[in-house]
Each structure stands twice: as C-alpha cells, then as structure tokens.
Structure 1
Amino acid sequence: MIKVLIADDQAMVRQGFGALLAAQPDLLVVGDAANGADAVTAARELRPDVVLMDVRMPVMDGLEATRRLAGGPKVLILTTFDLDDYVYEALRAGASGFLLKDAPADDLVTAVRVVASGEALLAPSVTRRLIAEFAARPARNRPRPVELNALTPRETDVLRLIARGRSNQEIAADLVVAEQTVKTHIGKILGKLGLRDRAQAVVLAYETGLVAAGE
C-alpha cells in the first residue's frame, strides 16, 4: 500500500485529489496540509511514501518544505505552466517529479505510483525547460569532476542524453541498443554517482559542466 500526503492551500484541490487517490486499491491518503509548514509536520508524523506538494502555499512554500523533507518521503511537485521558473529549484530541493495540476486523473495516479517506486517522473518536456534555465546562465569553464571518472564512456553518453531531455526510448534509438540496456546503464549511473533518481542526474550533468546548454 502506497501512503500519500496531499499538501495544497486550496481545499478543493486537496479534496479532489484525495477522493481520486483513495479510490485506488493500492493507494492510501493518510492526511493533507494547507501549507508547507503543516506538510513537514504531517509528513514526519504520518510517514507517507509520497507527498503531493504544491509550490505556492502560505507560511512555508513547497520548495522549502521539500528541502526540509530531504531524505524522507518522495516529493511530487504540483505545478502549472506558469511555474516553470521553479523547476530547477525544486529539483535542487530534492523533488522526485512534477505533475501539472490540470493533468488527467490517470496521470495523477500513475505519477504517484512511479515516484513511490523510486523512479523520477521527469518528462522530457520538463527536462527541456530545465535546459532553458541553464541556457540563461553564463557559461563556466570548470574541470571535469573526479566522480564522473567512475562512468564508462557509454554511461557518460547516456548521462549526456538524459540531460538533453531524451527519453529512454529515444536514447535507445540514438545508441542503437535495447531500451532495457538503457535502463541498466541509468541504474549504474545513479549507483556510481550516488544519485537518487533521473532528476538529480540531470542537475548534476549541467552543474558539473558535462553538458552545456545549447550544445
């Protein structure tokens, strides 16, 4: 059973998402919160597997709440297209994925299950917006971090493609390998670099200069 906590300052959103998730046989809504501070408190008390976290909330916003829950439950950020500026900061804060508030009901249910399983829900479209964030920053020439030396040439290629917004299927086509092989490479990349998920891999690739926006 996947335990879920819903954090949003709009009561109708909490109730709507709660009813939808509660109707699933493998999901259990253990509580909700109207602001980030209450979300942190509730998460520590109720120990959910996944927190649906709105960004704009009173008292404490969703980004700060996500930072305070680092190492705890998986956080799925609830966002809208006009919140693209928050994508990078949410990833840095430890979010495992993003979900548009107007997404179809089935997408919400799938997103919770995907994040709970330990996978990152980072759609290529979100990755490309992240790339745009880096593109707006001045270029920096830095030496290749030592930790990247642990990767094989093929794993390095896969990491670059992840950071460029390519899906597993697209990476498989680019490298002419099976999609399962790509998944295996990604698992090894995360393990060697001590990363939690694909989202962190994208951030690391750009922050270390392995990939430069506009390449």
Structure 2
Amino acid sequence: MAEGTGPRVVVPGDRFPLPDSGKVVLGPGLTTQQSSHGSEGVVTHGGILRQKGEATFWVDIATHNPQTAEGDQVLGIIIGNAGEGFLVDIGGASNALLPGLAFEGATRRNRPRLNPGDLVLARLKVANRDMDPELTCVTSGGKSAGMGHLEGGLLREISLGLCRRLRGKNCRVLTELGSRKKFELCVGMNGRMWLKTEAPMDAVLLANAIEASELMSDKQVTKLVNRISSGWS
C-alpha cells in the first residue's frame, strides 16, 4: 500500500509489503510476518486498510456491532418509560436506562418529557457485562455539553470505523461539506449518525456523501463534494 493511495477493503489473510527501513507501526487488525520478500503486513480482521505517512498502518474494523465502553457517547432511541426514567435502545444486547434526573437542570418536578421514538445523545455511565447499561446526558460537572434530546434531523446506521473517522480530528469529508453547507452532526460510538440541515433533502445528500467517503482518499472526497455541491445555491 504505497503512500498516497486510497484506503481499500481487506479480509483476514490479505498481505501487503512493509517499508524496508525505519520504524513501522501496525495498529488494530494487523500483524507482521517475514517472507522471502521481506517484512509483510498481514490482516487479522476484515475492514478498511488505512495508512498514515510511510510506515503507520491500521484497519478500521468494518462492523456495525456496538463496541462501546464507559464514557462513550451514544445515540439512543427512547422506547418507553422505566420508573422515573426512560428505557433506551442503543443497539446493544440490552436496552439502557436513562434516569429522569440525568439531564442538566432536571429536578423531580422539572424533568424532560420524552416519548417513544425520540432520539437522545447521551454518555454511557455504566457499561459492563454484569449490569444493564446506564446513560446520562450531563458531564461530570453537571453540564449538558450538547447532550440530550435531538429534535428532527436524519438518523443513519454506519460502521464503527466510519464513526471513529468522523469523530477524529481533521476529517476531510466534514471539512469539505462544512465549508459549503451549514449542518448539525452527532456521531455515537454505537454505530449511529444524526444529521440535521435546514432543508430535509440536504440532510439526505450530506449523509449519503459521508457514507460514500468511507472508502475514498482525500482527493476523491474533495471531488465528490465538489460534484454534489455544484447544484447548491
């Protein structure tokens, strides 16, 4: 995988040559083996092979199965009440509990009114095998920091690799789209993305572009955004 080439889909057992000199860094989904041609990278988990610089490689694991941990932000769908709180679908094996007081400024007399189907951005407060997940919509300092009820917008399920890419720094597709169109975006580490624009159809176009960018190089992303934005006023 030479410098400058775009990411590509790989499966376990795929191999690629590694640089002959210098320090090589292999991230998740990869190991190394010696062959008659020198050192080779060997794929151990299917996904998207990515490269940074000349000697850093990793695989974005192509899965939709949530692999969340305590502290992760998730996008949840309210499915009903649970005592003084709410039962929330976060895409895992168990539904999560969101206490009614786990919102900024909430009191027993002043709690948010959420209905089945409503979407919330929340943080996993409890996440272990022995207990059902518990959510909160406040930071350790009691502030919402953008968490809570998300009104309107478009919800999509995306791969966890794309989730990490969108939440990382200097994401090319978000930079390119943000320079041309105003939108709100929330990405949960449970494989969900929420996007809101002034015109609902624009949200569909932007979401499609974001999903399509997963297998593209930065140059390809720029061309894609230029093409879809040419018709915007």
* TM bucket normalised to smaller: under 0.3
TM-score w.r.t. the length of structure 1 is 0.27
TM-score (structure 2 length as normaliser): 0.26
Q: Which has the larger radius of gyration?
A: 2
Higher share in helix: 1
